[in-house]
Amino acid sequence: EKGGYATFMEKEIHEQPHAVADTLLGRTDDAGRLVLDEVRIPEERLRQVERITIVACGTAAYAGMVAKYAIEHWTRIPVEVALAHEFRYCDPIVDENTLVVSISQSGETMDTLMAVKHAAELGAMTLSICNTHGSTIPRESDAVLYTHAGPEIAVASTKAFLAQITACYVLGLYLAQLRGETYADDARAVMAELHEMPAKIEDLLGRMGRVQEMAEFMSDSRAVLFLGRHVGYPVALEGALKLKELAYIHAEGFAAGELKHGPIALIEPGQPVFVVVPSPETPHELHKKVVSNIQEIRARGARTLVIAHDGDEDVEPFASEVIRIPHCSPMLAPLLAVVPLQVFALHLASAKGLDVDQPRNLAKSVTVE
């Protein structure tokens, strides 16, 4: 049942090309327009959306953070991401023109369910992005957009994360189409590029030998830091979460711009730091800024583990290791950049002899508040 893999997690990491492809399936008509049949909220109501609040926990919340960048960029609708367990208690500003989007693999996470119920009581439209048909959260929501990652068995989420990000992109493009205006990027061009991502993820999975070696070599690490910027920031947070969950190592993700405001004090010789580098064409010179962050920490002795696009030579002088991902446009890069971080956590935990599929103290779906 593990399909020849040693663990469910490894199998699920390798199912990611399918998770993305299947989540894209049937979302466009012959004319290339997005059609979301499962979204039962009338189109005229969706046109009235003035703000979006995403509620989720753990990995799903990081998918929501990626979604914020994409949805705001494409629709200019303000998007807020709230941890579901905080949402209900922060007197949320929600009304009938708010779309509350929940993201949950299981559809049973109590914190997320209670947030959705609270949003509905306040009159919001509720839409569930969910991987489990017939589960509670989609049933309690006005609309559902299913991710088609297939059942995820390993406690630590991998393929569901990629499917959630994909579904969020589709939702963002759909809302932009409904409102008749994509403020940036052409929706069809983005969809076309999304359809290329499964092959790129497959390509990337074939390059993970060195990451596995690094993980085995680093199995006695005491702390690992992760830096990212723009959509790479939630990827850094997710990379750190995977390492905490699986390998019980102290791991923290930071926004790279925050480095000089505190975290740089943590850098001492030998400190491993993963850096998720934006593609060179990311606006506002973010690529250049992240490259200088790598230079700064390298000068203080950090072991710089750099995730960079194919062809990005600027990182070479400051990288202890360069992990290459296939080139793609800036917004879609999380679908690739997170993969080496998943593989790293998996192999580091395995090298420590830990149970990768069932880490201590964690449950696949947490049905208590």
The set of catalytic residues is 364
Interacting residue with ligand BG6 among 115, 155, 235, 335 (CB under 6 A)? 155
User: By rule CB under 6 A, what string of x and - marks binding of each residue 307-346 to ligand BG6?
Assistant: ----------------------------------------
- For residue 204, what is the enclosing H or E element? helix 187-205
Check binding of 365 to ligand BG6 (CB under 6 A). Answer: yes
Per 3-state DSSP, the chain is made up of helix, strand and coil in percentages (nearest 5) of 45, 15, 35
Position of tokens 């947070």?
Answer: 237
What is the three-state SS of 278-346? Answer: CCCCCCCCHHHHHHHHHHHHHHCCCEEEEEEECCCHHHHHHCCEEEEECCCCHHHCHHHHHHHHHHHHH
Interacting residue with ligand BG6 among 36, 57, 115, 167 (CB under 6 A)? 57
Distances (CA, A) of 98 to 120, 130, 157, 191: 10, 19, 28, 26
Interacting residue with ligand BG6 among 75, 104, 342, 350 (CB under 6 A)? 104
List 322's β-bridge partners, or say none: 306
Interacting residue with ligand BG6 among 112, 221, 282, 350 (CB under 6 A)? 112
Minimum Å distance from CB 8 to ligand BG6? Answer: 13
Minimum Å distance from CB 256 to ligand BG6? Answer: 24
Q: Which of 143, 145, 93, 153 is CA-nearest to residue 123?
A: 93
Minimum Å distance from CB 362 to ligand BG6? Answer: 5
Residue 217 has which token pair? 């070599």
6 versus 363: smaller Cβ distance to ligand BG6: 363
Interacting residue with ligand BG6 among 105, 166, 177, 182 (CB under 6 A)? 105
Size of the site for ligand BG6 (CB under 6 A): 15
Interacting residue with ligand BG6 among 9, 156, 162, 194 (CB under 6 A)? 156
Contact (CB, 8 A) for 152 and 161: no
User: By rule CB under 6 A, what string of x and - marks binding of each residue 60-79 to ligand BG6?
Assistant: x-------------------
Check binding of 133 to ligand BG6 (CB under 6 A). Answer: no
Minimum Å distance from CB 296 to ligand BG6? Answer: 32
Interacting residue with ligand BG6 among 189, 192, 223, 362 (CB under 6 A)? 362
Check binding of 147 to ligand BG6 (CB under 6 A). Answer: no
162 versus 302: smaller Cβ distance to ligand BG6: 162
Interacting residue with ligand BG6 among 59, 128, 293, 350 (CB under 6 A)? 59
Side-chain half-sphere of 95: how many Cα atoms within 13 Å? 4
b/e 189-205 (16+ beta carbons within 10 angstroms → b): ebbebbeebbebbeebe
Residue 334 has which token pair? 């999380």
Check binding of 58 to ligand BG6 (CB under 6 A). Answer: yes
Q: Which of 302, 307, 268, 265 is CA-nearest to residue 287?
A: 307
Binding site for ligand BG6 (CB under 6 A): 57-60, 104-106, 109, 112, 155-157, 362, 365-366
